[in-house]
């Protein structure tokens, strides 16, 4: 009986060590998602929050810690603000937060999803995509909204998801969406 118990303990110990090693081996690498970079800092998404770190390296600092999910960060042209997509209370909208951290400010209030795509060159408006004026939710258009809030304006383009203004702000390059 003692020999059986000894064998059972040994077997359970080996099994526990094997499982522990398997779990440790199975852990995936940490991937920092959707970074945005300015002259001095990098902002990235990790675990549903936005984090910032100096370009030279160092410890990352959490910028947001809401109960939702924050993603798609973009530095404003002057580097003082970060526009991001925030998913709170079952909806996805456009927000801005100071680059040094603080309370996010909500810019859009539409029941459909709005996702940040960038900034206008003067830093006065955030560029975002949405299906708010489309007949099907899979069709997106580009819009701008003031950093002070207000009604978004649709850009006079066909369906598009991403875009970026030229350095002089006179033109917009965009990625058209081709739906069948």
Q: The domain at 33-163 falls in which architecture?
A: 6 Propeller (2.120)
Q: What is the pTM of this model?
A: 0.79
SS3 content of the chain, % helix, strand, coil (to 5): 15, 40, 45
Half-sphere exposure of 24 (CA within 13 A, CB side): 6
For residue 7, name the pLDDT band (cuts at 50, 70, 90).
Answer: low
At 148 the three-state DSSP class reads coil
In the chain, domain spans: 33-163
What confidence score (pLDDT) does residue 12 get?
Answer: 44
Q: What is the mean pLDDT of the chain?
A: 84
For residue 135, name the pLDDT band (cuts at 50, 70, 90).
Answer: low
* More confident of the two residues 59 and 133: 59
What confidence score (pLDDT) does residue 51 get?
Answer: 94
Please return the burial class of 156, using the count of CB atoms within 10 Å of its CB with bins 0-12, 13-18 and 19+.
exposed
Query: What pLDDT, in 10s, does the model give residues 24-51?
Result: 444 555 666 789 999 999 999 998 899 9
Query: What pLDDT, in 10s, does the model give residues 103-119?
Result: 999 999 998 899 999 99
């Amino acid at each position: 009986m003692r020999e059986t118990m000894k064998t059972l303990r040994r077997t359970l110990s080996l099994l526990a060590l094997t499982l522990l090693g398997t779990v440790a081996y199975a852990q995936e690498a940490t991937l920092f998602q959707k970074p945005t970079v300015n002259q001095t800092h990098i902002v990235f998404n990790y675990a549903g929050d936005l984090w910032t770190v100096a370009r030279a390296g160092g410890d990352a600092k959490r910028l947001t810690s809401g109960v939702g999910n924050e993603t798609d960060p973009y530095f404003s042209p002057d580097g003082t603000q970060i526009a991001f997509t925030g998913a709170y209370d079952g909806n996805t909208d456009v927000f801005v937060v100071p680059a040094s951290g603080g309370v996010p400010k909500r810019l859009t209030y539409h029941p459909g999803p709005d996702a940040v795509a960038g900034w206008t060159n003067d830093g006065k408006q955030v560029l975002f995509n949405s299906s708010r004026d489309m007949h099907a939710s899979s069709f997106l258009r580009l819009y701008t909204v003031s950093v002070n809030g207000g009604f978004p304006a649709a850009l006079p383009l066909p369906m598009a998801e991403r875009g970026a203004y030229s350095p002089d702000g006179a033109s917009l390059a965009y990625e058209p969406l081709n739906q069948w």
